[in-house]
Structure 1
Amino acid sequence: MTDTSNDQPEPFDLKSDDVAARKRADFKRLFPEVFNEDKIDLDQLRRVLGDWVDEGSERFGLTWPGKAACMRVIQAPATGGLRPDRDESVNFDESENVFIEGDNLEVLKLLQKAYFGKIKMIYIDPPYNTGKEFIYPDKYAETLGTYLSYTGQRGDDGRRFSTNSEEDGRLHSNWINMMYPRLYLARNLLKDDGVIFVSIDDNEAANLRQLCDQVFGQENHLVTMYVQVRYPGKTLAEKNDYQKLIEQVLVYTKADFSPKKESEEYKIEKFCWHIDELEEGHVTSIGGRDVEIFKPGQYKITKVPPSTSALKETWATGSVLKVNASGKYFGKNLAPRKSQDGLKVLYKVKGIGEDGLGFRYFTGPQKESATKGKFFSGVPLKRLEQMKTGSARKEKPILNFHNFADAFGNCRHEGAIDFRGGKKPIEFLKTLIRQSLASDEQDIVLDFFAGSASTAHAVFDLNKEDGGNRKFIMVQLPEPVSEEDRQEHFNTISELSRERIRRAASKLAPHAEKGSPSNIDYGFRAFNLSPSSFTSWDAASDIAQDDLLAEIEGHASHTSESATDDDILFELLLKDGFELTTKVEQASVAGGKAYSVADGALLICLERNLTKDIIDALADLAEKEDAARVVCLDAGFQGNDQLKTNAVQTFKSRLGHGEDGSIFRTV
């Protein structure tokens, strides 16, 4: 990368504000998915806003069978809940890391309210569509019922997840239909300065690039990284004509991500040139600037020992002509003058540079076949000041090629778990995390195709390495462990994932797993995707007349009989916009229990037999903690309308009204 810090800023834009262009840019930030070739697809905009239309006339862009219906899938509400599993967790009450077992489409929907715009980095390693993975081939809108049937939580009357193959003629469209809703929902979770990394090989790389362009916006594609994952010759597939050594990582931002780059000491070793003006040159005006032109023999360029008073040469070629002010000036104004000024001339252009010289030297082409030249610049004044205090550093560009062949070849046993199903090495993942999250940032890394939880392991390892406080959310479908990976007692990949996190933590901090004090969070809260803790009336269900009364009576208390207080509590938190790791404290209220959420921001009472004493004690607690809202179970009043009416008046008289009405609610 060429150092452009020497150059002055671009000229101030004196044009009046283009209101339409500004509004269009704002609109594109909100809805990048409705733009095709910088034109607004009004039909797609209507779909995004919930006004359904069928596919319209053909336009440029990625299209496939089922594309229009994907928006229905995205907009369909989540119907499940995330139930805490304390037995599978480590340090549940204190940890700010999360592991969720479940179908990631439903989970991403459930996370929308609490985590909208809060995730700094997403890394996913989705199925590469080789025809072997579980990817929902028939209907990309897998329902919660299908998932529950698949995982044995409901009767085996639903469709099973199965593999995708070329035989049904929709190999690629099935895969895209699976990916599109998940990427769309994932974008919602990103911060404006967030970033997503998506690993892929060439089976779907071209389709994924177009898909991400639609979801995130083509202008938000930062780079495609190329990662060497194996060494040449290290394969038994001699029958293949080509050996694939490289995989890709597509990198997109939501709006304005800036990577964390490594820096090095600013050095002056390239400042080793001196220019002598032997005679006066011809003075003219070029491109609005005063320029003195020296012919061969009128100047001399000499290489000298590096010093702060010497100059650095830079070729005006390639990207320098587009991104560097001096390069742009050369390409636009000096390169075309070869026939007019001749070869081997020196241009002294006034008013360019931040090195205090007041001018910049340029050399024109040196031979007839050449079109490019060089420019010479001094050490910027800002750098000179930094050098006096020893703070002069220069950021290093991030390469878009990484050789991790050795790490990929030896990662099978990382985390003390033997797993072959596409396992990613932690050094590779740490490289991506370093680019995204500084050590002092308490930001979240999300991986909703978690696999063996390598990403969680990488977060632990990097936090220990630099004392960071990064957090993670892992989501993994409970896919059966393949026979080749069935080295231990694990039946599903999610079981294996949780154990891998525990073993990684135990190795990095032997006592952390047991809750011993540590400045690094090595725990995690485990959750399982399950039916909602609240039953809902299905108006479309076919209920016999004789069973209707029993069905109505069953909905008098619409909390599920199997739901524990923990299940109900965390479902309410998530659906009210609180994160899964929100601090919750238990309090006693007249012999009952209440939960204080986020230092009193919300009080929840799940008692099934509410009394006046409990209501009064709950009001006392709400006053003490200056609670913004109080929630009780409607079933807790057991049909006592008078008690409920009195409760409303109690909270209204003692606590007043919230922004949207009474602070007291029932569920």
Structure 2
Amino acid sequence: MSIQKIEPGMPESQSADVLADNVARLKAVFPELVTEGTNGPAINIDVLKALVGDATATDAEEKYGLNWHGKRAARQLALTPSAGTLRPCPEESVDWDRTQNLMIEGDNLEVLKLLQKSYAGKVKLIYIDPPYNTGSDFVYPDNFQDNLQHYLALTGQVEGGRKVTSNTEAGGRFHTHWLNMIYPRLMLARNLLRPDGLIFVSIGQREIHHLVSVCDEIYGEENRIGIVGRSMKTGGNSGKFFSPNLEFILAYGRSSDEAKGFKTRLSDALKEAVYNQIQESGSRAGQAYRTMGLYQASLTLGRSKNARYFIECPDGSKCIPPEGKRWRVVESSFLDMKAAEDIVFKQTDTSPLLDEHGKQSKWNIYTKIWLSTREEEGQIPVDILTKYENRHSAKELNELGVPFPFAKPTGLVRHLLEISQTGGDDLILDFFAGSGTTGHAVMAQNAADEAKRRFILVQLPEALDEHDEEHKASIEVCRASGRPENLVELAKERLIRSAKKVRSENSEWEGDTGFRTLKLAHSNIRPWVANTSDVAASLLGQLDHVDPGRNSDDVLHELLLKLGLDLCVSVLVRTIAGKTVQAVGGGVLTVCLDKVINVDEAEPLALGIVAWRKELAPAGDVTCVFLDSAFENDVAKTNLAAILEQHGISKVRSL
């Protein structure tokens, strides 16, 4: 048996090939559809028309839907695999060894491609607040040639200009730039959703109609859950004809039939804390209730003359609200509640009520509020949100000392987490993470209901502009914290500070408030670059495929991505035959990246790996990976591979 070397361009060296997967699925259902074209497998349109009927299949220009210049290229871009990787940055992380949360720095298009193998069909909820189309300073470019190259230019890793691409109306493509940006990202996001997964997209009025058309096409109109309005503020005088106070949230399910949620419920913890009394007898025996004062200080008498009356107390005395005040209900309603045993009398030294002599009463009176079926089973939420205005986010960011303009309030994201009925270890994704609102909200919600939701945040390292008045305070925070002056660093600082706040407000909660930082970069596997002036040097330089500037952790995380393993999966380390060996995910991936494996070391190394595999008993086939240049010669490589195969490990690869 020989060890297969992972070369650039192989499936194991790049992200998921969505296009190839789509062709394979079609071939599985309709084998006759797929034929051999000049560039590999191709779809025979004539056969497709024969299978579904000419009236159903069309490639005509005139058809219902939203079209714009560059749409085909945008779709193709989503289907083009990425050869990049995500480099781990433990020194920029919090609680690296234990956390299940990710903070990924880079162009979200490339990152979404890289996440396909590891997280396809695993995300419960996606919330994004993409940049609105303002007509200028458009951060995400419409250059579809090489987004990874663009990212590297932004971060100063290659020669290049600034990140900002002009997107003015004078360019003739006012909406096109924005649509070309959002379309491929929404396509890739759909693949990551679970069958019962949901996506929420915040959007302003300028692109709402276009975004609905795009999402209907990608997610299916039948899977549109709704369009929710959110009040950003009240008042103002900034608009041309109307002051813009409203924005929207589009909600789609991966499948509306599978989508779970859209009920606001009381959490078990809140029910226990609020509805903390149990009826002991009668027809409602065993039911939970809470009490509310029959008298409320805010209720004035006004015209409600019949809501002020004496009530007889258990000791025969009578009580009444203070002068000018009233009970919550009229006397006839009170008598009905008393007959139903829904009235509770409590003796107290601090009663606000008066007795029949005008002195302080010894009693206070309460009504029972029963835990309702609506609260148990859930209430359908409304499609207009007025409780989550921008001023709320400004206040909470100022309290954290991390000011940033136009951030969404955490209450909004927590509302979405609640109505979607997320819980357990559900995965939450935000690939326009901004200042980190979603990560903050997930931690706060976990502390409230003791769930273990995980988050993945993705954000471009967008530079904060010192000439922008609204960015100056954010820049000062970065400087004071010793951070580079960009949005990713501000988000990290916010996550750290919000974690401390959540913990201080929930002293007994021991949940996850850390995050692993990963950064988009070119692959660790070097492509072949021929030097015609020195062929010998080119050949010698290609003996080691791994970039010499990368370490073993870099390589390991690329293997996790390309082989489809969770980026927060557990990694065990053991020394076998003097070599460092890592067992990932309970042993489904075994990696040895030592730089030298001699002939006499091959057998004990292989047998040690076999023994460790038996000890771990992984669920599934094991993949073993080594550095190709580490083997002393072909004998060492062949012997190691043969021993592994004899013991049931046939998937052996080298880099």
Same topology, TM > 0.5: yes
| Residue-pair matches, total | 493
Q: Report the counterpart of residue 626 of structure 1 in structure 2.
A: 617
Q: Report the counterpart of residue 190 of structure 2 in structure 1.
A: 187
Q: Report the counterpart of residue 7 of structure 2 in structure 1.
A: none
Task: Say whether 1:614 aligns with 2:605.
Answer: yes
Q: Which of 492, 496, 502 is residue 508 of structure 1 equivalent to?
A: 502
Which amino acid in structure 1 is aligned with residue 639 of structure 2?
A: N
Shift of 1:602: 1.9
Which amino acid in structure 1 is aligned with residue 432 of structure 2?
A: F
Q: Report the counterpart of residue 260 of structure 2 in structure 1.
A: 258
Change (3 A) 1:125 1:640: same
Change (3 A) 1:138 1:473: closer
Task: Say whether 1:665 aligns with 2:649.
Answer: no
Contact 1:140/1:178, CA 8 A, preserved across alignment: no
Q: Which of 94, 97, 107 is residue 93 of structure 1 equivalent to?
A: 97
Contact 2:407/2:435, CA 8 A, preserved across alignment: yes
Q: Specify every segment of 5 or more residues in structure 2 that has no aligned partner in the other structure, as ranges.
A: 1-21, 27-32, 46-57, 267-274, 276-283, 288-334, 338-369
Task: Say whether 1:205 aligns with 2:208.
Answer: yes
Which amino acid in structure 2 is aligned with residue 609 of structure 1?
A: V
Superposition CA RMSD, Å: 3.3
Task: Say whether 1:643 aligns with 2:636.
Answer: yes
SS at match of 2:115: helix
Q: Report the counterpart of residue 144 of structure 1 in structure 2.
A: 148
Change (3 A) 1:639 1:393: closer
Contact 2:265/2:377, CA 8 A, preserved across alignment: yes
Q: Which of 105, 115, 118 is residue 109 of structure 2 equivalent to?
A: 105
CA distance in 2, matches of 1:638, 1:110: 30
Deviation digits for residues 254-296 of structure 1 (CA, Å, limit 9, x no counterpart) = 11212241358999xxxxxxxxxxxxxxxxxxxxxxxxxxxxx
Q: Report the counterpart of residue 496 of structure 1 in structure 2.
A: 490
Contact 2:388/2:409, CA 8 A, preserved across alignment: no
CA distance in 2, matches of 1:496, 1:532: 27
Change (3 A) 1:161 1:556: farther
Deviation digits for residues 189-227 of structure 1 (CA, Å, limit 9, x no counterpart) = 000100000000011111000000000001111100000
Q: Which of 421, 424, 448 is residue 465 of structure 1 equivalent to?
A: 448
Task: Say whether 1:434 aligns with 2:437.
Answer: no
Change (3 A) 1:72 1:553: farther
Greater mean deviation of Cα atoms: 419-428 or 445-454: 419-428
After TM superposition, the score normalised by the length of structure 1 is 0.68
CA distance in 1, matches of 2:636, 2:377: 69
CA distance in 2, matches of 1:407, 1:254: 29
CA distance in 2, matches of 1:155, 1:609: 35
Contact 1:451/1:476, CA 8 A, preserved across alignment: yes
Deviation digits for residues 293-350 of structure 1 (CA, Å, limit 9, x no counterpart) = xxxxxxxxxxxx999xxxxxxxxxxxxxxxxxxxxxxxxxxxxxxxxxxxxxxxxxxx
Change (3 A) 1:131 1:620: same
CA distance in 2, matches of 1:562, 1:52: 46
Q: Report the counterpart of residue 221 of structure 1 in structure 2.
A: 224
Contact 1:230/1:409, CA 8 A, preserved across alignment: no
Which amino acid in structure 2 is aligned with residue 74 of structure 1?
A: A
Q: Which of 170, 176, 183 is residue 167 of structure 1 equivalent to?
A: 170
CA distance in 2, matches of 1:197, 1:478: 23
Contact 2:430/2:456, CA 8 A, preserved across alignment: yes
Deviation digits for residues 494-517 of structure 1 (CA, Å, limit 9, x no counterpart) = 0111111111112222599xxx99
Change (3 A) 1:176 1:142: farther
Task: Say whether 1:154 aligns with 2:120.
Answer: no
Q: Report the counterpart of residue 18 of structure 2 in structure 1.
A: none
CA distance in 1, matches of 2:494, 2:119: 25
Q: Report the counterpart of residue 319 of structure 2 in structure 1.
A: none
Change (3 A) 1:580 1:306: farther
Contact 2:227/2:248, CA 8 A, preserved across alignment: yes
CA distance in 2, matches of 1:224, 1:162: 30
Contact 2:593/2:627, CA 8 A, preserved across alignment: no
Contact 2:130/2:202, CA 8 A, preserved across alignment: yes
Greater mean deviation of Cα atoms: 219-228 or 502-511: 502-511
Contact 1:229/1:404, CA 8 A, preserved across alignment: no
Which amino acid in structure 2 is aligned with residue 199 of structure 1?
A: S
Contact 1:216/1:253, CA 8 A, preserved across alignment: yes
Shift of 1:388: 13
CA distance in 2, matches of 1:64, 1:448: 24
CA distance in 2, matches of 1:418, 1:63: 41
Q: Report the counterpart of residue 425 of structure 1 in structure 2.
A: 409
Shift of 1:588: 1.2
Which amino acid in structure 2 is aligned with residue 618 of structure 1?
A: I
Task: Report 1:56-71 matches (<5 A).
Answer: 56-71=60-75
Shift of 1:56: 4.0
Change (3 A) 1:588 1:437: farther
Contact 1:437/1:470, CA 8 A, preserved across alignment: no
CA distance in 1, matches of 2:372, 2:210: 51
Change (3 A) 1:417 1:65: farther
Shift of 1:120: 0.3
Q: Report the counterpart of residue 363 of structure 2 in structure 1.
A: none
Q: Specify every segment of 5 or more residues in structure 1 that has no aligned partner in the other structure, as ranges.
A: 1-29, 35-41, 268-304, 308-386
Change (3 A) 1:417 1:578: farther
CA distance in 1, matches of 2:628, 2:433: 39
Give me the identity figure in percent. 34
Q: Which of 577, 590, 597 is residue 590 of structure 1 equivalent to?
A: 577
SS at match of 2:637: helix
Which amino acid in structure 1 is aligned with residue 553 of structure 2?
A: D
